[in-house]
Each structure stands twice: as structure tokens, then as C-alpha cells.
Amino acid sequence: MRISKFLFAFIFLTFLQTGFTAITSAESLSLDDDYRARGILLTNTNFNNASSSGTYSYYSQRLDLTLTGKFNEGIEICTRISALGVAGSSTAFAGLSNSTSTAPAYPYPNIDFIPFINYAYVKIKNLGDTPITVIAGQQPFNYGNGLIIADNGMGLMGFRIYGKYKLPLPVPTSIFSKRRAGLYYLPIETEIFTAKVAAAGGLAPGYSHDLYGLVNRIKNGKYDYEISIFQDSDASGSQYIKGSNAYPATSINKYFYDFYMTRKEDISNIRFEIAKENGSVKNTDGQQITIDGMGYTIFGELIGNKTSLGKVTAHAQIAYSSGDSNPNSFASDGSFNPTQTRRFDGLERVGYGELFAASPYDALFPLPLNSYYSGIDTLNVGVDISPVYGWNMGVDYFYFAASEGPAGAPDASGFEKLYGANYSLGVEMDLYVKFAHSKYTEARFSYSRYTPPAFVVFWPTSDPATRYQFEISAKF
């Protein structure tokens, strides 16, 4: 503990020294503070299927300090120091948070509230008097909804280069208006990047786990588009999980072809993302698995700003991931498995549902996903209201399902089958109330209740698990 205090003091003094030096030369300097503390109680996480209580309670906290200096000639330097801590059922909490994943429990160096640097990068605009921007260093990588690539707030070491230009498009004469033939200049931003995935192994011989991407962003009126190609190349000796088998792999290469679209208006918002996954896996015996998956998300909301209940927002979402129809076959894998997807928000899992926290391929609970179920699908409907200034409350319902599952497993509902879900994985209800004390601080309380499906093979009882959370956050 004394070492951590000395380390924190050293980093803080370094911040002060950096700030003093930057003040003399920077056009602007900002220091942002983001702190969050949570108290969490989880009950019956084993659904009364074991002798233990399945109850955990703990406190967690997160602190982010971000120092940004903007200099002449379009140069920006940013450093963010973070600290994550947990007190309470730390051992059980760590296991529960990583119950169904083969990746490291957290993408963070530690959870002992010892500070670490997650962002440290330089940004150079208009490089060589061209419309090109370069960002180098440990930096955030998030694209679309975070379906394919998200850094989970940790950042990745890499390089990004992007430039803006206008693509001339011919416009024919319209017979319905006075518009004449000519050229329309479509604004486009193109980005290429490479990043190193932070994982155990670092500089070990033969270690390599890299991300590559080509992203095109188009803004056209109320619509924003992203058309992207991503490559996740893992030659670090990771195991590849397929069905109930774990294959030591010499290389795992995944390619994602992604289309993302948003439309924002005063009364409605729409988001749509669809991704195709291809690739291959080679095991240590030279055998190959062909990867061929697909996933998509559709989100829509309607906003009423002046109703009898104040501001009211109703939303609905569908998330689909393909599954592996034959998990015991080595030759191919049809499941959608973007392992760099968004899965953590500080120490807690994040995903569809505050308790179940589903990603396209795993969840918080130790469901038999690797052995039987694959391709997690979600149907979500909810409403948020703000009846009094400073207060918000809402309710969400989540219906979870899988694209593929074992024989005899309970079926998904008829509507869920329309978009590809076949086997039920239970339901969840989330309730929350939030109070904004000021523009800097707010408090939030939430209650979540997840009920597994009635399937005696894996869930002898369908007793629900619950989650209570109280949170206070502050930003300055």
C-alpha cells in the first residue's frame, strides 16, 4: 500500500511538472477529472443450483485524470492516468466477471487502485500543410457501436492516419425540380490504422497480436455512415474455442466488413450496424478452421420533449449474432466472434442488460455457451422519463436468445425467430432512477432481475438472480 501511495505521488508530481512546462508553450491546457464510485450487491448468481449462496457485495471506484495541451501548428498532446479499485468480494468478483471468456479477466494492468497510464499520444493536424492528421501512441480505438473494435477505456498502442476530402459525384437533371445537372461534392474522411493488442506475452519471441483497419466516414445531411474493413491478426499462441474444444493455434486471422449508419433528429434517432466475418485458424498440427459469421444491430428511439411526464424517450433494439451449427466439426465455424468488442466499463461487465451483460459471444454468467449455445441475440424495449427537472427514471426489458443450441433446449419466442434467434436464454428487467445534483455530479440507483430459461439440463431451477447498484459520479 505504501508503494502505491509513493507511485501515485510520483505520477501526480509528474503531472504538475508536465503542466508547468506546457503552460509556458501551449495555446491551451485542460485538466479533466472523472470519478465514479459504486456499491453493488449480486444475489443468487448460481440460481439456487449449488450449496453456496451465490451472493456477492463489493464497492468499486474509477478515477480518470486527463491532461490535454494544444500547441501551435495543430499539435495536441494528451495523457490520461486511471486507477481502478475494488473492495469486498474481490476474489469471487474477479471470477464472476470473467466467467465465460477465454480473454484476460480485464484489459487493465491492475484493479488495486494503483494508477496506470491508459492514454498517452500526440496528434498532429494538417501534416505538411495537407488535410492529413496523424495520431501516434496509446490512444482510444472505438468504431461504430463498439461491435467490432472497442478499447474498453484502456486504449491501444498504435498509429492512426486520416484525411478529409470531397468526392465529386455527377448529379443528373431532375424532372421533378429545377435542379440542373452538375457535380455534388460528398465529404469523406478516410482513416487507416494499426494497433497492438495489450495482452500477456508482450515482447516474448514470436508474440504478435495486431489490429488493422480502413475506415471511411461520410456525412450527408442527417445521416452519418462508416464503411470499414478490420483485421484481427493473432499469432501470440492463443487458444481458439470451438464448441467444447480448445485448440492451441499458431495463427488466428479474422476479417470484418462493417457498415454503420446513424440518423439523428429532434424527435428520433436511428442506428444500424451490420458486419460480415471471415477468416481462418491454424492449429499447432497445421489443420485449418474456416471462419464465416455475421452479426447486426438495429436501434431506434422516439423522443417527446414536452409531454405530461416531461421528456419521454422510448427505444427498441435488436442485436443478432450467427451461431455455429456444428460445434464438433473442426473444418468450419459459423459463429460471429468479434473478440475485441466492447465488454467492460471499468471493473464491471457491460453489454445488453446490466446484469446479464451480453456480448455477441459471451455473458457475465457461466452459461454453457462454449459447449452448446453460440451466437447471442437480444431483443430490447424500454422507456425513459424525466418528470421533474434533474430526475430521470426508466425501465428496460431484455429477451435473450441464441442462434444455435442443444437439442431439447427451450425455444425462443415467435418474434425472436423472425430475426434469427432460435433458443431462449432468459429474460431481464432493469429499473433505474437518476438525480443530477448539478452539471458536475449525479447519483444513480438501479435494480436488475435476470431469470434463466426453464431447462433442467443446465438450470434445474429458474430462480432469478438480482443486482442492486448505487453510484455517485463527478466530472470536473
Cα separation, 383 vs 61, whole angstroms: 28
Backbone phi and psi for residue 82, each to the nearest 5 degrees, phi listed first: -125, 155
What's the predicted TM-score (pTM) here?
A: 0.88
Q: Long-range contact list for 417-424, CB < 8 A, 24+ apart?
A: 419/318, 419/320, 419/377, 419/379, 420/320, 420/322, 420/377, 421/320, 421/377, 421/379, 423/373, 424/399, 424/400, 424/453
- pLDDT, position 99: 42
According to CATH, the topology of domain 2-475 is: Porin (2.40.160)
φ, ψ of residue 6 to 5 degrees: the values are -65, -40
**pLDDT (0 to 100) of residue 103:** 42
Angle at 12 between CA 9 and CA 14, to 5 degrees: 110
Residue for cell digits 425455444? Answer: 411
Alpha carbon distance 45, 71 (integer Å):
52
10-residue averages of pLDDT along the chain (476 residues): 50 51 67 94 84 80 94 90 79 46 64 90 91 95 93 92 88 61 83 82 64 95 94 88 81 96 93 97 88 96 89 96 86 92 88 94 76 89 93 96 89 87 94 94 97 84 91 94
Mind giving me the DSSP string for 48-115? T-SSS---EEEEEEEEEEEEEEEEGGGEEEEEEEEEEEEEESHHHHHHHHTTT-SS-S-SSS-SBS--
Q: Which is it for strands 423-436 and 441-451: parallel, antiparallel or unpaired?
A: antiparallel
Which has the closest alpha carbon to 43: 110, 4, 106, 92?
92
SS (H, E, C) 347-383: CEECCECCCCCECCCCCCCCCCCCCCCEEEEEEEEEE
Integer CA distances (angstroms), 151 to 107, 182, 375, in order: 8, 43, 22
Distance CA 130, CA 164 (A): 10
Amino acid at 150: A
The predicted pLDDT at position 1 comes to 43
Grid cell, residue 185, equals 461534392
Distance (Å, whole) CA 29 – CA 27: 7
